[in-house]
């Protein structure tokens, strides 16, 4: 199910709500109101902060990814280096299976299980730098 995950701009607590068109978003904890999910949504503007720039990334737990790589590295001496191609294969298979999510540069809101427009590219540090003052 499509959902939005964001940190409230007022109370800083994490919210996750399903996406329902025409619904007004509000913080579950403090009740602060955010944008409305309009028919043009998503990705004309961020529903949380009205930002206009987004990037895409795989929706995968980074800690788990690092753990897989570390296990592969730890097994190098015992496997004479054969664990590294195995870890690369596992990484490639996971990359193919895991869906992408779209993230707002300005507030970090994560849009899951939505079709992202092709115009969105992976994270660009230079773009993110100009939004640091908002986070």
CB-CB contact of 30 with 13 (8 Å): yes
pTM, to two decimals: 0.81
- At 87 the pLDDT is 92
Query: Coil, strand, or helix at residue 25?
Result: strand
Query: Coil, strand, or helix at residue 70?
Result: helix
Domain ranges of the chain: 60-98
Measure the CA–CA gap between 116 and 125, rounded to whole angstroms.
Answer: 20
What pLDDT digit, counting tens, does each position of 104-135 carry? 999 999 999 888 888 899 999 999 998 887 76
Percent of the chain with pLDDT over 70: 96
Q: At 132, list the tokens.
A: 């640091």
């Amino acid at each position: 199910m499509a959902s939005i995950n964001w940190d409230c701009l007022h109370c800083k607590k994490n919210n996750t709500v399903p996406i329902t068109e025409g619904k007004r978003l509000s913080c579950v904890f403090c009740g602060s109101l955010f944008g409305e999910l309009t028919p043009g949504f998503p990705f004309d503007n961020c529903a949380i902060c009205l930002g206009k720039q987004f990037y895409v990334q795989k929706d995968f737990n980074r800690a788990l990814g690092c753990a897989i790589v570390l296990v592969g590295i730890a097994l190098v001496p015992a496997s004479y280096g054969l664990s590294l191609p195995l870890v690369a294969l596992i990484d490639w298979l996971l990359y193919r299976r895991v869906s992408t999510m779209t993230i707002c540069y300005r507030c970090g809101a994560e849009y899951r299980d939505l079709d992202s427009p092709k115009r969105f590219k992976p994270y660009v540090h230079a773009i993110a730098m100009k939004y640091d003052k908002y986070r």
